[in-house]
Amino acid sequence: MHYRDFHRESIANPDEFWRREAARIHWETPFDQVLDRSNPPFARWFCGGRTNLCFNAVDRHLAARAQQNALVYVSTETGIERRYTYADLHAEVNRMAAVMRSLGVGRGDRVLIYLPMIPEAVFAMLACARLGAIHSVVFGGFAAPSLAARIDDAKPALLVTADAGARGGKVIDYTPLVDEAMARAAHAPPKVLLIDRQLAPERLNAPYLVDYEPLREQHYDVQIPCEWLESNEPSYILYTSGTTGKPKGVQRDVGGYAVALAASMEYIFEGRAGDTMFTASDIGWVVGHSYIIYAPLLAGMTTVMYEGTPIRPDGGIWWRLVEQHRINLMFTAPTAIRVLKKQDPALLRAADLSSLRTLFLAGEPLDEPTAEWISEALDKPVVDNYWQTETGWPMLAIQRGVEALPPKLGSPGVPCYGYDLVLRSEHTGEPCAQGEKGVITLGYPLPPGCMQTVWGDDARFVKTYWESVPGQQVYSTFDWGVQDADGYVTILGRTDDVINVAGHRLGTREIEEAISSHAAVAEVAVVGVNDAVKGQAALAFVVLRDANAAASPADAQKLAAALAATVDRQLGAIGRPARVHFVPMLPKTRSGKLLRRAIAALAEGHEPGDLPTIEDASALLSIREAVSAGNG
């Protein structure tokens, strides 16, 4: 099968293409129309078909895989490890669904899930799918105002939480955050279901709290039938960052999502029933929804859920997990690999990685030095891919299950089947020439599995995503890219990460790529700050592989000059950062993404604002101190 023919068919004849793919899942009632495009930019997939995500992920496998592991849970925070077969998972999901039903949850109701990485989070999501309820997972540890805003937008019938989470050996007490959010919210749910891990320092006894364990025992043997949903009914809401303070809820369907994920497991991830997949993300993010939970289970695989960091108890823990659980597919973010790159290489070499077939990376651009290091260290295929919360599954990748095209360092690959992906001029909306920087856009209709709309706000969906490219009704990813003659796309950063230096528009990602190519650099973040002369100036914040390399002012100055020269060589003098600051760490979210806006705010002397998902607040202090000291 040739990739180009496969992709061309998916765009030219989507009805026939997706009709075939829809056979991957169970339809209780067959659909009567593959695609309804009568109301652009909205699209409806597999109209009239009735199905259920939980049935396809769990019940469907009981006949052949009841005793195969479905979920393996490992927590290096608590030392707990649990294994659940498909039969076990089916029983636990039924118990959770019965408990939810006893608390008044039914079809179409929203359930807000505010949980750490524990098995009950999987049970809760699948229980919602079973009942026909709409889950909205909020990243565990989000600050109370953020949680309250999501409560008010989703208006849930129930909130499910735990007494605490744990990260890096620190306990994060959830119940005071929930208590404050409930007090702040105008639409607080009547009940909060509490998973008591007995980690919190003291128990909060609010009147709305209901303990899960006693209710689980009461409903231990209850069987809850699956609610058969029309393909286009909502399955979940997942909030993502927007340009305003109001939360932006990405709404996903049922049938299209199930078909898209099932197909992606073969064509992109080459996963097979019986394989074991370890996705090192969080259920609060789209990667966790799609590739910790739904896709592996839809494919009849074993999924590994991990609570902990990649370096605790030491930097070899992930590699030991691969050995112990015979993991075949691993999926994480480039940031995590850069962290592991700084660990003792003997920890990686000590593990038996013979079971591992492929390492997948996504979430941010993969720089060439990191790609080269991990490819050589593992001697396994390393496959980058690019997508968004809004798309639900990759839009750029090397689709090895279609054709094993050669990877190109720095590029996540070529457009995936189903995506009519075109780079367009931000000024005219016309397609870009090869090698010309443009905005990555998607034509109508978006393929199955992509967002249907913004929850409760169709007008915002249209205005935000479909009206930003001049003269064209196309979906904007708000990402810059460049495409070569072979169709490979390289991501150059967000369109809102563009800086304007003396009339020249520069993507901060381009400058980061140049700086990160220097052998001394472990990580780098480039941000734009206001400049009285040039409009904006680029500042680089650099983490060195060896902190002692810039120990003295003279060493720092010399190294900063070398980095500037590297940028000059790769981008020209216009790309040279106005200043290079050396810092011990960069502020990131707990999922590993750089907090660029916070860095830029500190660089301009402003406060960074509320950062509920920051991994280590001391990183902000190091940025502030570096700016004050003016090192580099």
Question: Strands (DSSP E) along 373-467, which ranges?
Answer: 382-386, 396-397, 414-415, 421-424, 438-442, 453-454
CA distances from 347 to 77, 308, 318, 333, 382 (A): 20, 17, 10, 19, 19
| Closest to 206 (Cα-Cα) out of 190, 187, 186, 222 | 190
Euclidean distance between CA atoms 17 and 400, whole angstroms: 18
| Stretch (H or E) spanning 461 | helix 458-466
pLDDT for residue 530:
82
Query: CB neighbours (10 Å) of residue 502?
Result: 11
Please name the residues in contact with 219: beta carbons below 8 A apart, sequence gap of 6 or more: 95, 98, 99, 102
Euclidean distance between CA atoms 175 and 185, whole angstroms: 15
The answer to whether residues 448 and 431 touch, using CB atoms and an 8 Å cutoff, is: no
- Mean predicted confidence (pLDDT) in 460-465: 95
CA distances from 475 to 46, 230, 483 (A): 21, 25, 18
Q: Does domain 502-629 have CATH number 3.30.300.30?
A: yes
Q: Is the pLDDT of residue 142 over 90?
A: no
How do residues 574-627 score in pLDDT, each as one tens digit? 788 999 999 999 988 776 778 887 898 888 888 776 666 677 778 888 888 888
Q: If pLDDT is split at 50, 70 and 90, which confidence band does 58 have?
A: very high
Q: What is the amino acid identity at position 324?
A: Q
Listed by start position, the domains of the chain span 502-629
- Mean predicted confidence (pLDDT) in 149-170: 95
The answer to whether residues 322 and 278 touch, using CB atoms and an 8 Å cutoff, is: yes
Euclidean distance between CA atoms 424 and 544, whole angstroms: 36
pLDDT for residue 631:
62
Euclidean distance between CA atoms 313 and 77, whole angstroms: 9
What DSSP string describes 513-582?
Answer: HHHHTSTTEEEEEEEEEEETTTEEEEEEEEEESSGGGG-SHHHHHHHHHHHHHHHHHHH-GGG--SEEEE
| Closest to 127 (Cα-Cα) out of 151, 98, 103, 102 | 98
The answer to whether residues 235 and 54 touch, using CB atoms and an 8 Å cutoff, is: no
Euclidean distance between CA atoms 169 and 180, whole angstroms: 24
Segment among 30-39, 231-240, 370-379, 623-632 with least mean pLDDT: 623-632
Q: If pLDDT is split at 50, 70 and 90, which confidence band does 551 have?
A: confident
Segment among 100-109, 345-354, 366-375 with least mean pLDDT: 366-375
- Mean predicted confidence (pLDDT) in 557-578: 86
Q: Is the pLDDT of residue 68 over 90?
A: yes
Compute the CA torsion angle 478, 480, 484, 485 (nearest 10 deg): 40
pLDDT for residue 71:
98
Q: If pLDDT is split at 50, 70 and 90, which confidence band does 243 have?
A: very low
Buried b (16+ CB within 10 A) or exposed e, 270-279: bbeeebbbbb
pLDDT for residue 141:
66
Q: What is the amino acid identity at position 615?
A: E
How do residues 418-461 score in pLDDT, each as one tens digit? 999 999 998 999 999 999 999 999 999 999 999 999 999 999 99
Residue found by looking up tokens 């689980």 in the block: 216
Q: Is the pLDDT of residue 120 over 90?
A: yes
